[in-house]
């Protein structure tokens, strides 16, 4: 794992007797996309607010780039909240420059970055418009630019694809990947599991204020896989032999003869010699497709929430 930009240890936050975070610890690597997942009310928003120093933890420590997180670090954090908050009646260019100066940029630096992003998104004509005159998707683009304008080391995105059509959602996805490739650490909080599957290097699943799953996406999927092969065969002249073999192994197969001399099989190989079974199958047919059944991030989410109680 890469060195940690954020090291969070034993974080606890309580509201009037209710624990919003309970002894929460994770390490978030530099230059990575880290999925922060969980049902509503799990504790994600509390953690995000603590990282932005909107509220403070009751106990625990946070190291940011090797030192205790402090007020000065806010200038190196970009936060895109789920509930957007641009000034509706202020010119877009003026307010983005103003917001960037609050993060420590000079006016000249902010204007240069503004020009870069507006040209990149081909929205130069928006600079003197007001947010009130934009569609939801257009306003979302402006909000995204406001979040990255000061070139933060840590970028926290809460439901960043909300309001985007598929084309513009793809544009934002590509920008997130490019930011990561250029060294930005991204925390992605979303209920869109397909985006997590596509973008995230690591994920953390929070449920009822506790971390219940954490690690690299690939490793978690491999650990949780069902040990099932999906197999498609082309049946040759030895169909009777194939059918006899399948019948003799009925307990470990789900079978679907699809016509045109093809058969789809699900081989549950957890306690079986898969190599020997495949060898016998291929003695009577030709292999068209073989795929190991790997759980998606969506399946990991649902399984672990059920396991720990809804």
Q: Which of 196, 222, 248 is the last residue of a domain?
A: 222
Q: pLDDT band for position 276 (50/70/90)?
A: confident
Quick check: is 279 in a domain?
yes
Strand runs (DSSP E) across the chain, as ranges?
A: 4-15, 18-29, 33-37, 59-64, 67-68, 77-80, 154-158, 185-189, 202-207, 210-216, 228-235, 253-259, 262-268, 285-292
Same domain, 270 and 132: no
Q: Select from 274, 290, 275, 276 the least CA-distant residue to 234.
A: 290
The answer to whether residue 114 sits within a structural domain is: yes
What is the average pLDDT across 220-232? 83
Name the one residue in this structure whose structure tokens are 């503004």.
Answer: 114
Range of the domain at 153: 4-222
Which candidate, 235, 217, 236, places its Cα nearest to that of 225?
Answer: 217
Summarised one tens digit per residue, pLDDT across range 33-52 is: 999 999 999 999 999 999 99
Q: Please enumerate, as own/partner, the contacts of 279-284 that have beta carbons within 8 Å and a separation of 24 or more.
A: 280/245, 281/231, 281/233, 281/242, 281/245, 283/238, 283/241, 284/235, 284/236, 284/238, 284/239, 284/241, 284/242, 284/245
State yes or no: pLDDT of 23 exceeds 80: yes
Strands (E), 30-119: 33-37, 59-64, 67-68, 77-80
| Residues 210, 67 within the same domain | yes
Give the residue-averaged pLDDT of 96-125.
95
41 Rama sector, left if φ>0, alpha if ψ -120 to 50, beta otherwise: left
CA angle 52/54/59 to nearest 5° reads 85
Asked, for residue 308, whether it belongs to a domain, the answer is no
Same domain, 218 and 235: no
Examine residue 39 and state whether it is found in any structural domain, yes or no: yes
pTM above 0.75, yes or no: yes
Q: What is the pLDDT of residue 52?
A: 95
For residues 246 and 114, state if they share a domain.
Answer: no
Tell me what the pLDDT averaged over the chain comes to: 90
What is the number of domains present in the chain?
2
Among the candidates 179, 197, 222, a domain finishes at 222
232: CATH: 3.30.70.1150
**The CATH number of the domain where 178 resides is what?**
3.40.50.300
- 157 and 114 in a single domain? The answer is yes
Question: Chain-centre distance of CA 179, in angstroms?
Answer: 15
Is the per-residue pLDDT at 87 higher than 60? yes
Same domain, 238 and 95: no
Co-location of 17 and 141 in the same domain: yes
pLDDT exceeds cutoff 90 at 310:
no
160 lies in the same domain as 266: no
* Residue 284 placed within a domain: yes
């Amino acid at each position: 794992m890469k060195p940690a930009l954020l090291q969070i240890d034993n974080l606890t936050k309580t509201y009037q007797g209710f624990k919003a975070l309970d002894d929460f610890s994770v390490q978030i690597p530099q230059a990575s996309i880290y999925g922060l997942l969980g049902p509503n009310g799990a504790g994600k928003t509390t953690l995000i607010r603590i990282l932005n120093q909107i509220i403070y933890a009751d106990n625990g420590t946070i190291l940011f780039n090797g030192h205790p997180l402090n007020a000065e670090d806010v200038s190196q954090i970009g936060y895109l909240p789920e509930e957007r908050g641009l000034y509706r009646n202020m010119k877009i260019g003026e307010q983005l420059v103003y917001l960037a100066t609050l993060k420590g940029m000079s006016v000249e630096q902010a204007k240069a970055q503004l020009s870069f992003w507006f040209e990149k998104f081909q929205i130069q004509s928006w600079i003197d418009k007001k947010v009130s005159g934009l569609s939801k998707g257009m306003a979302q683009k402006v909000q995204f630019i406001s979040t990255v304008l000061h070139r933060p080391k840590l970028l926290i995105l809460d439901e960043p694809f909300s309001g985007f059509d598929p084309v513009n959602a793809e544009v934002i996805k590509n920008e997130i990947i490019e930011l990561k490739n250029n060294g930005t650490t991204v925390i992605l909080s979303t209920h869109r599991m397909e985006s997590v599957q596509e973008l995230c290097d690591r994920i953390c699943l929070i449920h009822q204020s506790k971390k219940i799953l954490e690690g690299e996406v690939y490793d978690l999927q491999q650990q949780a896989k069902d040990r099932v092969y999906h197999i498609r065969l082309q049946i040759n002249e030895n169909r009777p032999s194939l059918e006899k073999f399948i019948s003799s192994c009925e307990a470990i197969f789900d079978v679907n003869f699809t016509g045109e001399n093809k058969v789809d099989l699900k081989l549950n190989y957890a306690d079986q010699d898969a190599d020997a079974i495949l060898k016998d199958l291929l003695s009577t047919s030709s292999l068209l497709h073989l795929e190991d059944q790997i759980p998606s991030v969506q399946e990991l989410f649902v399984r672990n929430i059920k396991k720990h109680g809804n």
